[in-house]
């Protein structure tokens, strides 16, 4: 008979209680972890040292279109990594397991991911390594940034078009004849407006034909088929440019390959890489006399805001044509250009994005949204002040280099992070993207600022 002493029994009971408490604590820890994974807005994906998925939270299921049971045990490469990136992924895994060296671990970066249906999309990704039972395990935190990228693209397009509009207004003011104006407008549209090709055609009223007047970016000889008929019952008479002239309205085609009116040109369009086109009628004395045509390599390029600004560009060209034929109207054109500049200022001021214009390192134009970010009630208080006064001392050198890069034509429209300061001295993190524009006859820096703190 084994008789335990009271001391032994007490020790045994204490050990049993301790184990129960430890098990309870472990259960509570697992429940907390599960709650975090289940409710997290970001995707959280865990993979073992062989790249096999061992956890896939609900946000990841929604983002990638997989059920959890469908991916557990499968590799990252075969499920969420696009084919073009798989080899680099496998090399990186092998290098880390062999040497412990990693390029991307512990950092936040942007990359492309793949959904269950094979479609690819941009993500922001951070990977944290840990050890489980002596083996490396990788926890990936990621989010779909498609909407943010689309917003950045839209801002970049609008910024480029504002620059093109300002440049074309300057060209109108400088030009003394129609032909030089047409050539300059086409050049500006390609150089500043992110368009792959631009052209202006004029109507021959006797032959009812659309004749080429100027073009830029026609590397494929696209306009060799001109002149084009204006009448709908003639071959090639139903295209975007002819329709814009005939019906006296803008013709926006955001899917060239899907528009039946572009069928006669579809082969040439495909070889040139064009995906969208827009045509705007040009007037003289309120009569349609020609068309401004623009081509882009992205489908759905021409949204409502871009189309409105391009319509204003065509209207300014029409005003210039009236001016060439009637010298007495030149003052009216100058007034219209001034009003166009004022509209630009109004658009900037009404924009929800914080926008500033920098001339010689000083604020030349600041909208209300930018003033709010900088903690100033009246945007006018910032005019003439040095922008560097609002950059955190730790980022002054970086900010100056970034401005020099943009002024030299490098990295325009690309968002970078910086540390800025408000008027009260408080610091905040910001995203900044800059580009060059013409403002009041000078080449200046326009920037979009976002508070990301």
Domain assignment present for 391: yes
pLDDT score of 30: 53
In angstroms, the CA 33 to CA 315 distance is: 61
Question: What would the DSSP string read from start to end of 98-112?
Answer: HH---SSTTSEEEEE
Residue 189: which residues within 8 A CB-CB, separation 6 or more?
Answer: 164, 168, 195, 198, 216, 294
- Cα angle 443-445-449, degrees, rounded to a multiple of 5: 160
Nearest Cα residue to 193 out of 156, 239, 143: 156
How many folded domains does the chain comprise?
Answer: 4
Q: Highest mean pLDDT: which of 44-53, 158-167, 318-327?
A: 44-53
CATH number, domain of 402, equals 3.30.450.20
Query: Quick one: 22 and 60 in the same domain?
Result: no
Please state the pTM of the whole predicted model.
Answer: 0.54
Which range is most confident: 89-98, 220-229, 267-276, 374-383?
A: 374-383
In a domain, 75, yes or no: yes
CATH classification at residue 320? 3.30.450.40
User: Is the pLDDT reported for residue 33 higher than 80?
Assistant: no
Domain for residue 139, yes or no? yes
Count of C-beta atoms within a 10 Å radius of residue 310: 24
Q: What is the pLDDT of residue 21?
A: 54
**Does residue 367 contact residue 379 with C-beta atoms inside 8 Å?**
yes
Full residue range of the structural domain in which residue 390 is found = 351-451
Highest mean pLDDT among 60-74, 159-173, 327-341, 400-414: 60-74
Mapped onto helix, strand or coil, the DSSP state of residue 114 is strand
Supply the pLDDT for residue 175.
Answer: 85
Between the alpha carbon of residue 284 and those of residues 183, 211, 242, 323, the distances in Å are 18, 16, 17, 9
Q: Which three-class secondary structure state does DSSP give residue 142?
A: strand
Least confident residue range of 22-31, 115-124, 162-171, 266-275: 22-31
Mean pLDDT across the stretch 15-34?
A: 54
Q: Is the residue at 35 inside a domain?
A: no
Per-residue pLDDT of 380-416, as tens digits, reads: 999 999 999 999 999 998 888 888 888 887 766 677 8
Burial class (CB in 10 A: 0-12, 13-18, 19+), 335: exposed
Identify the domain boundary among 348, 380, 414.
Answer: 348
Predicted pLDDT at 6: 57
Write the burial class of residue 17 (CB in 10 Å: 0-12 exposed, 13-18 middle, 19+ buried). Answer: exposed
The domain boundary residue, chosen from 90, 109, 144: 144
Same domain for 307 and 179, yes or no, is yes
Please tell me whether residues 186 and 299 are part of one structural domain.
yes
Mean pLDDT across the stretch 249-255? 95
CB 240 within 8 A of CB 293: yes
Q: Are residues 10 and 57 in the same domain?
A: no
Q: What percent of the chain has pLDDT over 70?
A: 88
Q: So what's the pLDDT on residue 193?
A: 84
Percent of the chain with pLDDT over 90: 45
Q: What is the pLDDT of residue 157?
A: 75
One-character DSSP codes across 29-71 = HHHHHHHHHHH-SSEEEEE-TTSBEEEE-HHHHHHHT--HHHH
CA 265 to chain CA mean position, Å: 29
Residue 311 lies in a domain: yes
Collapse the DSSP code of 173 into the 3-class scheme (helix H, G, I; strand E, B; otherwise coil) and give the result.
helix
CA diameter of the chain: 125
Reported as type and span, the H/E element at residue 22 is helix 6-39
**Bigger pLDDT: 386 vs 157:** 386
Count other Cβ atoms within 10 Å, centred on residue 306: 21
pLDDT band (50, 70, 90) for residue 169: confident
Q: Are residues 189 and 288 in the same domain?
A: yes
* pLDDT confidence bin for 222, thresholds 50/70/90: confident
Average pLDDT value for residue range 119-137: 89
How far is residue 241's CA from residue 210's CA, in Å, rounded to a whole number? 8
* Helix 330-350 / helix 304-325 crossing angle, nearest 10 deg: 160
209 and 162 in one domain? yes
Give the C-alpha separation, 361 to 380, whole Å: 16
Same domain, 182 and 309: yes
User: In this structure, are 303 and 169 located in the same domain?
Assistant: yes
176's CB contacts (< 8 A; 6+ apart) are none
Tell me, yes or no, whether 60 lies in a domain.
Answer: yes
DSSP 329: G
Question: 172 in a domain, yes or no?
Answer: yes
Q: Which pLDDT score is estimated for 192?
A: 87
Which pLDDT tens digit goes with each residue over 302-347?
Answer: 988 889 989 999 999 998 988 887 765 566 666 777 677 777 778 7
Residue 251 lies in a domain: yes
Give yes or no: residues 136 and 48 share one domain: yes
């Amino acid at each position: 008979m084994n008789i335990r002493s009271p001391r032994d029994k007490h020790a045994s009971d204490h050990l049993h209680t301790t184990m129960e408490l430890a098990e309870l604590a472990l259960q509570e820890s697992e429940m907390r972890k599960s709650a975090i994974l289940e409710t997290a807005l970001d995707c959280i994906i865990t993979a073992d040292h062989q790249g096999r998925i061992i956890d896939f939270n609900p946000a990841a299921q929604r983002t990638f279109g997989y059920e959890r049971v469908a991916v557990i045990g499968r590799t990252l490469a075969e499920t969420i990594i696009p084919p073009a990136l798989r080899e680099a992924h496998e090399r990186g895994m092998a290098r880390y397991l062999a040497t412990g060296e990693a390029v991307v671990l512990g950092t936040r970066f942007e990359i492309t991911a793949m959904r269950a249906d094979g479609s690819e999309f941009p993500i922001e990704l951070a990977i944290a390594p840990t050890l489980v039972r002596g083996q490396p395990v990788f926890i990936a935190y990621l989010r779909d940034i498609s909407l943010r990228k689309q917003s950045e693209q839209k801002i970049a397009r609008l910024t480029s078009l504002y620059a093109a509009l300002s440049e074309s207004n300057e060209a109108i003011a400088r030009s003394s004849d129609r032909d030089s104006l047409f050539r300059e407008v086409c050049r500006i549209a390609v150089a500043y407006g992110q368009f792959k090709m631009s052209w202006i055609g004029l109507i021959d009223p006797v032959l009812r034909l659309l004749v080429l007047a100027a073009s830029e970016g026609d590397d494929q000889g696209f306009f060799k088929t001109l002149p084009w008929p204006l009448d709908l019952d003639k071959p090639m008479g139903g295209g975007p440019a002819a329709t814009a002239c005939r019906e006296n309205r803008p013709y926006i085609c955001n899917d060239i390959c899907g528009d039946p009116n572009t069928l006669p040109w579809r082969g040439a369009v495909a070889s040139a890489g064009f995906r969208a086109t827009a045509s705007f009628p040009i007037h003289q004395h309120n009569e349609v006399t020609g068309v401004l045509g623009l081509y882009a390599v992205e489908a759905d390029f021409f949204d409502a805001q871009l189309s409105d600004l391009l319509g204003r560009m065509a209207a300014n060209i029409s005003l210039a044509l009236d001016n060439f034929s009637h010298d007495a109207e030149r003052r009216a054109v100058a007034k219209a250009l001034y009003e166009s500049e004022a509209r630009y200022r109004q658009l900037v001021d009404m924009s929800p994005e914080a926008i500033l214009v920098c001339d010689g390192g000083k604020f030349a134009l600041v909208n209300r949204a930018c003033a709010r970010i900088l903690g100033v009630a009246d945007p006018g208080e910032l005019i003439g002040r040095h922008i560097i006064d609002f950059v955190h001392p730790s980022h002054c050198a970086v900010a100056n280099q970034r401005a020099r890069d943009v002024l030299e034509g490098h990295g325009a429209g690309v968002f970078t992070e910086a540390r800025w300061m408000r008027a009260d001295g408080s610091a905040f993190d910001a995203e900044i993207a800059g580009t060059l524009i013409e403002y009041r006859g000078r080449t200046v820096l326009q920037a979009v600022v976002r508070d990301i703190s």
